[in-house]
Structure 1
Amino acid sequence: MKIIIGNKAYSSWSLRGWLAVKQSGLHFDEQVVPLYDDNWEQRKREDDLAPSAGKVPILWDDDAVVWDSLAIIDYLADKVGRDRYWPKDRVARGMARSLSAEMHSGYVALRRECPMNIRKSFHDVTVSADTRTDAVRILQNWAEARSRFGQQGPYLFGTFSAADIMFAPVVTRFVTYGFTLPGFAQSYVDAMMAHPWMEEWYAAAAQEPWTIQRIEDAAR
Structure 2
Amino acid sequence: MEPPAGPARIPLSARVAAEFIGTAALVAVVVGSGIQATELSNDVGVQLLANALATVFGLGVLIALFGPVSGAHFNPVVTLAEWWTQRRAGREGVTTRELPAYLAAQFTGAVGGAILADAMFDLPLVEWSAKDRDAGHLLLAEVVATAGLIMLIFGLARTARLHFAPVAVASYIGAAYWFTSSTSFANPAVTVGRAFSDTFAGIAPGSVPGFIAAQLVGAVVGLGLVAVVFVRTRKAAV
TM-score, length basis structure 1: 0.30
> Which of the two has greater strand per residue?
1
> Which of the two has greater helix per residue?
2
For the pair shown, which has the larger CA radius of gyration, 1 or 2? 2
TM-score, length basis structure 2: 0.29
Higher relative contact order (CA 8 A, sep 6+): 2
